[in-house]
Amino acid sequence: MSLRFEQLGKTFVASVSGIDLRRPISTEQQSTLEKALAKYGVLVFRNQPIGDDEQQAFIEKFGPPMNTTLKELATGHPHFYDIGTVDDNGIPTPEIKARQMYMLANQLWHTDGSQVQPPIRLTALHARVLPPEPPPTQFADMHAAWNALPDAQKREIDGLKVEHSIYWSRQKIGMGVDDFSDETREQRAPVDHPLVRTHPLTGRKSLYLASHASHVIGWPIDKGRALIEELTELATQPQFVFSVDWQPHNLVMWDNRWTMHRATPYSGDHPRKMRWCAVRELEPV
């Protein structure tokens, strides 16, 4: 079986076939997938009926799986979060404000883990339980967005550094610092990242933005916030966005270095349960 990719969006996103994630993937397959992530940004693996052990074995091929330490989202598994509304027994997750806020915050355009250093590199999200009409997850091509900028603006912003903070993204949805556990507050000091990143495999530049992106280092706060807002609006225009539809057992993997994403709304009326895992960059960015 050899890996095949079919591009789904105009500029990015592909489906992958010729792979069975119930079995360990080879180093060669992993390296092909790394290149595909650099080329397509988002990969959709259809109909992969895997459990935790297989998902863990898969993500580990790409690096040390991230420890999922946020108390508010804990699943009891050291490397998974659940994105959704029910626990492993199908029981609605307790209505803890912080957890509900995280789920709501997923509807803001973001890259995973830009609020930590080193940031998250890749995410793999597996659909375990879906509502009857599963809401899509939307992705934005941040390389295409960079390319669309006027040269003068490219020159102006290349080299800038941005402060990313979980408190900034959560403030947007009405959450205060006091709503986080003490542990989380200790783990989540704001961090700086470049506004423009170069992908190590393709050499292509892209905007690095997220709901966590607060302001530009060395600029007046308001000016930096206005720039981040302007660039985020630009980068999430329809021509840069692709909506990924969910089917049972699909696994979607994305490259957080040059894509942004957001959840579209879902209600608690029908269970939704997505198993989330990720690998971080090995060095600070």
Chain residues in the site for ligand OGA (CB under 6 A): 83, 106, 112, 123, 125, 137, 261, 263, 274, 276
- Nearer CB in complex with ligand OGA: 212/261: 261
What is the closest distance, in whole angstroms, from the C-beta atom of residue 112 to Mn ion in the complex?
Answer: 4
- Nearer CB in complex with ligand OGA: 162/260: 260
Q: How far apart are the C-alpha atoms of 51 and 273, rounded to whole Å? A: 13
Continuous H helices in 41-191:
52-60, 97-105, 142-147, 151-157, 166-171, 182-187
Q: How far apart are the C-alpha atoms of 180 and 197, rounded to whole Å? A: 30
Of these partners, ligand OGA, Mn ion, none, which one is at the site of residue 276 (CB under 5 to 8 Å by kind)? ligand OGA
Cβ-contact 194, 208 below 8 angstroms: yes
CA atoms within 13 A on the CB side of 206: 26
195-200-206-211 Cα dihedral, nearest 10 degrees = -50
- Nearer CB in complex with ligand OGA: 11/107: 107
Continuous H helices in 41-75:
52-60
Of these partners, ligand OGA, Mn ion, none, which one is at the site of residue 263 (CB under 5 to 8 Å by kind)? ligand OGA
DSSP 237: S
Using rule CB under 5 A, residue 82 touches Mn ion: no
What is the closest distance, in whole angstroms, from the C-beta atom of residue 49 to Mn ion in the complex?
Answer: 23
Continuous H helices in 61-111:
97-105
Using rule CB under 5 A, residue 255 touches Mn ion: no
What is the closest distance, in whole angstroms, from the C-beta atom of residue 267 to Mn ion in the complex?
Answer: 19
- Nearer CB in complex with Mn ion: 112/163: 112
What is the closest distance, in whole angstroms, from the C-beta atom of residue 266 to ligand OGA in the complex?
Answer: 8
- Nearer CB in complex with Mn ion: 54/112: 112
Using rule CB under 5 A, residue 163 touches Mn ion: no
